[in-house]
Amino acid sequence: MRIIARSTLARFAERHPETRVSLAHWHSVVMSARWMTTGDVMKAFPKAKALNGERVRFEINGGAYRLIAAFKFGSGLCFVKFLGKHAEYDRVDALTISIF
């Protein structure tokens, strides 16, 4: 998958160094994936939650942070829509948020 807003991950990891390892792992897995459904994503990330047919919520750094990504499976694209602390995630609409 090609990640859109990859620079967002790097900037976030600079501001929150405790997320660096977890984000690097997420990035590596997503970049090498050839997913076609949210079910495929869930096989790679069992703790993730499919929000609908294109959006998935991932736990980062043991669940202290959340990442929402939207996938265009046929095109092989992954769009980072939200990345923040768990408490911030609780205040957003995961189905419509598009910060990046």
Decide if pLDDT at 79 tops 90: yes
- Structural domains in the chain, sorted by start: 2-89 (3.30.2310)
Decide if pLDDT at 99 tops 90: no
With left for phi above 0 and alpha for psi between -120 and 50, is residue 71 left, alpha or beta?
A: beta
Interval 22-42 mean pLDDT: 97
Decide if pLDDT at 97 tops 90: yes
Q: Per the confidence metrics, is the pTM higher than 0.85?
A: yes
Interval 47-57 mean pLDDT: 97
Please name the residue that has the structure tokens 């694209």: 77
How far is the C-alpha of 48 from the C-alpha of 66, rounded, in Å?
10
